Structure 1
Amino acid sequence: MAALRRWKSYLSVLRSSCRVVLTEVKPAAQTVRTRSALFTGVASLAVGTTLCAVPFKQVENLSHDSLIRRAASLVTDSSITFLSQTTLALIEAFMLYSKAVHTLIALQQRYLDSVGKLSPADEDAIWQVIITQRAEINERREHCARLDTTWASAVKLCEAAAEAAFSSGAEHACVTMRTHLDLAHSQVEEAQKLSREADRLLTQTKVLEVERMASALGTEEEEVPEAYLRED
Structure 2
Amino acid sequence: MAAYRRKLFAVGLSCAASLSRGSSQSRRGLAALPTLLRRNWMSLSLTGALCAVPFIQNPENLTHEDLVRRASSLVTNSANTYLSQTTLALLDSISGYVKAISGLVTIHRRYSSSISKFTPAEEDAVWQVVLRQRQEVIDRRNDYKRFQSCWMTAINLSKLAAEAAFNAGADQASVAAQNSLQLTQSQVEQVRLQMQEAERQLKNSKAEDSERLQNALSAAMKEEDVPDAYLRED
| One-letter identity of the residue aligned with 1:75 | V
- Structure 1 runs of 4+ aligned residues shifted over 4 Å read 228-232
Aligned: 1:68 with 2:72: no
Aligned residues: CA RMSD: 2.2
Write the deviation string for residues 154-210 of structure 1: whole angstroms up to 9, x where unpaired: 000000000000000000000000000001101111111111110100111228x98
| 2:152 equivalent in structure 1 | 152
Q: Give the distance between the partners of 1:87 and 1:229, measured in 2 at CA.
A: 39
Write the deviation string for residues 36-78 of structure 1: whole angstroms up to 9, x where unpaired: xxxxxxxxxxxxxxxxxxxxxxx96411000000000000001
Aligned: 1:227 with 2:213: yes
| One-letter identity of the residue aligned with 1:169 | G
**Radius of gyration: which is bigger?**
1
Change in Cα spacing, 1:160 to 1:166, as seen in structure 2 (3 Å) is same
How does 1:108-147 map onto structure 2 within 5 Å? Answer: 108-147=108-147
Between the aligned residues of both structures, percent identity stands at 43
How does 1:1-232 map onto structure 2 within 5 Å? Answer: 61-206=61-206, 225-227=211-213
Change in Cα spacing, 1:143 to 1:135, as seen in structure 2 (3 Å) is same
Write the deviation string for residues 62-114 of structure 1: whole angstroms up to 9, x where unpaired: 11000000000000001000000000110010001000000001101111221
| One-letter identity of the residue aligned with 1:227 | L
Count, aligned residues: 160
TM norm structure 2: 0.64
| 2:55 equivalent in structure 1 | none
Q: Which runs of 5+ in 1 are unaligned?
A: 1-58, 211-223
Change in Cα spacing, 1:79 to 1:229, as seen in structure 2 (3 Å) is farther
Q: Give the distance between the partners of 1:116 and 1:175, measured in 2 at CA.
A: 62
Q: Which runs of 5+ in 2 are unaligned?
A: 1-58, 221-234
TM norm structure 1: 0.65
SS of the residue aligned with 1:62? coil
Write the deviation string for residues 9-61 of structure 1: whole angstroms up to 9, x where unpaired: xxxxxxxxxxxxxxxxxxxxxxxxxxxxxxxxxxxxxxxxxxxxxxxxxx964
Q: Give the distance between the partners of 1:225 and 1:118, measured in 2 at CA.
A: 18
- 1:227 to partner: Cα distance: 2.8
Change in Cα spacing, 1:92 to 1:138, as seen in structure 2 (3 Å) is same
